[in-house]
C-alpha cells in the first residue's frame, strides 16, 4: 500500500472539493425573470395560461432553468373608448352607457397613477442593469406598451454581455418608442391581418434547428399573426414564416413568425405564437417555448447567422401568390422566375423584399368603416399599381 504525505492528502482533498464544486456549478439551473406587465392591450387569457404553464415547464426541465415572475398588477386602469350611440339605443340605454363611462373615467384617474407608480418601482427594482446581474435571462411574455424599463441601452448591454432574451407574441408590441429595444428584438407590431380565430399555414425553414425541430417543414396553426415595421432581415435568422400562398388574407410581402439572433455574446429567441390561450396547452408550442429558452440560455446549439435570402425568397413567393389572383398570372412561373433572379443577384432580392414590404403601408380598401365608394376604389387602384410595379421588377 502506497503511503501519501500529509501534503499529498491535502492536495487530493482540495482537488476533490474543486471537482465537486465545479460539477455543482455546472449543474446550477439558469435563472430567468418573467415579465407579463401590460400598459397597452392585454392578452388576458394567454397571460393567465402562461403564468400557469411556464412554471410547469420549468419544473419539468430537469433543473435546466428556474423562473421568477415580476409581480403582475393586471391591466393598466383605463376607461376604454367613449361609448357610441347605436341607431337602436333608447335614451335610457344611452344614459346608462354614458354613466358607466363616466365611472370608468373617474376610476382610471384615481387608480391609474397608483398603478403607474407601483409598476415604475417594480421595474426599477428588478430590471435595472445592476439588479439583472442575478439573472441569466429575461422573458417578455405578451408584454405591451411603453413599459418603464429603467435603462434601454443598459438592458441591451446586459444581453450583449452573454445573457438571454426570450420574447413571446406581443413582446414586439412593447417599448416601440425605444430604439435600443426595437433594434434588439428586430420588429415592431404593425397590425395583425391574420386574426387569432383563423388557421394558417406556416413554413419551417430549418427543421433541424432545436427551437423549431418540433414542427414539420409545413404545418397549420391557429393563432394571431403579426406583420412588422423595424424588421431587418440582415440581423436575424428567420426560422418560421407565414405561407401566404396557403393563407388568407393574401399579401405580397414576407411575414416572419419566429427568429433567433446573436446580441453580442448573448442570444435572442422570439416567437409570434402565443396569442391564444389554447396555444399554451398545446404540446408542440410548449416544446417550442422550452427549446427556444434552452437555446437562448446556451443549453443547446443551433445556428444564428442571419439568412436574408430566406426573407427575399418568401417575399417573392408571397408576391407571386397575391399577384397571380389580382393580376391573373401564373403563380408558379412567376415565383420560379423571381427566385432564380434573386439567386443570381442577392442584392436585387433584398431590394425586391424591401419594395414589397412597402405594400403593407398602403391603406386597405376596407380600412375605414365609413369609406366612400371613391375611397375604396382609390385604395384598390393603389394596391393594383403597387403589384404591377413589383411585377415589373421581376419581369425587367
Kindly report the CATH number assigned to the domain that includes residue 140: 3.40.50.880
Q: What is the pLDDT of residue 327?
A: 93
> Does residue 230 lie in a domain region?
yes
> Does residue 171 lie in a domain region?
yes
Residues 372 and 264 in one domain: no
- In this prediction the pTM is 0.90
Residues 183 and 160 in one domain: yes
Phi, then psi, of 8 in degrees rounded to 5: -65, -40
> Does residue 82 lie in a domain region?
no
For the cut 70, the answer to whether the pLDDT of residue 25 exceeds it is: no
> Does residue 271 lie in a domain region?
yes
Give the residue carrying C-alpha cell 410547469. 56
Question: What are the pLDDT digits (tens) for 272-327?
Answer: 999 999 999 999 999 999 999 999 999 999 999 999 999 999 999 999 999 999 99
Residues 177 and 258 in one domain: yes
Residues 140 and 179 in one domain: yes
Residues 366 and 344 in one domain: yes
> Does residue 100 lie in a domain region?
no
Binning pLDDT at 50, 70 and 90, where does residue 17 land? Answer: very low
For the cut 80, the answer to whether the pLDDT of residue 24 exceeds it is: no
Give me the number of domains the chain comprises. Answer: 2
Q: Residue 266: give the domain boundaries.
A: 29-70+127-189+226-241+254-306
Contacting residues for 175 by C-beta, under 8 A, at least 6 apart: 146, 147, 149, 152, 181, 182
Mean pLDDT of all residues in 126-150: 97
Residues 283 and 322 in one domain: no
> Does residue 279 lie in a domain region?
yes
Q: Where are the beta strands (DSSP E) in 114-255?
A: 137-141, 164-168, 188-189, 199-204, 218-222, 228-229, 237-242
Residues 298 and 319 in one domain: no
Amino acid at each position: 500500500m502506497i503511503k501519501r504525505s500529509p501534503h499529498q492528502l491535502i492536495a487530493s482533498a482540495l482537488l476533490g472539493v474543486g471537482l465537486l464544486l465545479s460539477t455543482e456549478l455546472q449543474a446550477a439551473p439558469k435563472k430567468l425573470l418573467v415579465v407579463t406587465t401590460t400598459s397597452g392591450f392585454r392578452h388576458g387569457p394567454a397571460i393567465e395560461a402562461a403564468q400557469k404553464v411556464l412554471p410547469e415547464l420549468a419544473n419539468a426541465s430537469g433543473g435546466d432553468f428556474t423562473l421568477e415572475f415580476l409581480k403582475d398588477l393586471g391591466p393598466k386602469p383605463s376607461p376604454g373608448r367613449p361609448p357610441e350611440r347605436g341607431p337602436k339605443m333608447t335614451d335610457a340605454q344611452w344614459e346608462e352607457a354614458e354613466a358607466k363611462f363616466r365611472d370608468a373615467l373617474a376610476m382610471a384617474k384615481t387608480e391609474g397613477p397608483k398603478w403607474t407608480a407601483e409598476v415604475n418601482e417594480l421595474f426599477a427594482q428588478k430590471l435595472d442593469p445592476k439588479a439583472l446581474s442575478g439573472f441569466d435571462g429575461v422573458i417578455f411574455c405578451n408584454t405591451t406598451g411603453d413599459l418603464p424599463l429603467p435603462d434601454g441601452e443598459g438592458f441591451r448591454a446586459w444581453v450583449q454581455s452573454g445573457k438571454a432574451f426570450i420574447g413571446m407574441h406581443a413582446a414586439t408590441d412593447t417599448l416601440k418608442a425605444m430604439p435600443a429595444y426595437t433594434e434588439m428584438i428586430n420588429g415592431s407590431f404593425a397590425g395583425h391581418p391574420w386574426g387569432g380565430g383563423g388557421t394558417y399555414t406556416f413554413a419551417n425553414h430549418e427543421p433541424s434547428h432545436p427551437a423549431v425541430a418540433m414542427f414539420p417543414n409545413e404545418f397549420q396553426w391557429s393563432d394571431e399573426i403579426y406583420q412588422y415595421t423595424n424588421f431587418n432581415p440582415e440581423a436575424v435568422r428567420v426560422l418560421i414564416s407565414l405561407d401566404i400562398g396557403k393563407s388568407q388574407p393574401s399579401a405580397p410581402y414576407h411575414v416572419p413568425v419566429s427568429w433567433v439572433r446573436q446580441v453580442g455574446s448573448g442570444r435572442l429567441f422570439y416567437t409570434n405564437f402565443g396569442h391564444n390561450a389554447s396555444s399554451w396547452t398545446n404540446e408542440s408550442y410548449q416544446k417550442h417555448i422550452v427549446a427556444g429558452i434552452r437555446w437562448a440560455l446556451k443549453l443547446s446549439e443551433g445556428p444564428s447567422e442571419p439568412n436574408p435570402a430566406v426573407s427575399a425568397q418568401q417575399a417573392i413567393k408571397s408576391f407571386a401568390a397575391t399577384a397571380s389572383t389580382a393580376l391573373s398570372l401564373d403563380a408558379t412561373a412567376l415565383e420560379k422566375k423571381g427566385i432564380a433572379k434573386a439567386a443570381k443577384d442577392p442584392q436585387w432580392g433584398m431590394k425586391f423584399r424591401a419594395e414589397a414590404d412597402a405594400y403593407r403601408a398602403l391603406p386597405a380598401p376596407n380600412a375605414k368603416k365609413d369609406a366612400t365608394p371613391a375611397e375604396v376604389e382609390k385604395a384598390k387602384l393603389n394596391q393594383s399599381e403597387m403589384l404591377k410595379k413589383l411585377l415589373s421588377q421581376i419581369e425587367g
